Amino acid sequence: MLPELDGKVVSEMYEVMRRGRSLGQSGQLSEAEKLFNEAWDMMPEPKLGWDSSQLMAGHFARLYRDIGSFQVAENFVAHVFSCNPASGDGDPFFLKGTVLYESGRVDEAKLAFKQALDVAGRRPFDDNEKYLALALD
């Protein structure tokens, strides 16, 4: 079992991430990325050795995906997989698919979405019919 990351650190990271997401949504991408980097730097070493490492890496992957920094998003997806997700957890594959799809790599995204579907059924797709259709294609 991994050690628990201090709740205060997690709260502070979420606050910085929230501010970064807000900047990204308003088009201030370089400022947003600075805040994302600041939040990641707040995670103590070893960054992937905490109980919340997979969750936090997933958040960072989504943040970077949403501002169009796809290579950085892919790096964080790799971090998610490095945290050894549970055997029935399709979310990492779904996340990988969204990053690949949004970066224009549709064929690779389809494979990741199919893996998510195989591992966890429709649960990772929630109400996202666009991505589910790719998995079923």
State whether 64 and 99 are in the same domain: no
State whether 61 and 10 are in the same domain: yes
pLDDT of residue 83: 94
Average pLDDT over residues 5-27: 94
State whether 56 and 92 are in the same domain: no
pLDDT of residue 127: 86
Eight-class DSSP state of 45: S
Let me know if residue 120 belongs to a domain. yes
Let me know if residue 22 belongs to a domain. yes
State whether 59 and 2 are in the same domain: yes
Q: Which domain holds residue 49?
A: 1-69
Domain count, the chain: 2
Reference 39, options 65, 64, 71; nearest CA is 64
Whether the predicted pLDDT of 37 surpasses 90: yes
**pLDDT by residue (tens digit) across 86-130?**
999 999 999 999 999 999 999 999 999 999 999 999 999 998 999
State whether 25 and 55 are in the same domain: yes
pLDDT of residue 2: 86
Gyration radius of the chain's alpha carbons = 15
Eight-class DSSP state of 90: -
**Cα 38 from Cα 24, distance rounded (Å):** 14
**pLDDT by residue (tens digit) across 52-94?**
999 999 999 999 999 999 999 999 999 999 999 999 999 999 9
Let me know if residue 57 belongs to a domain. yes
> pTM for the whole thing?
0.91
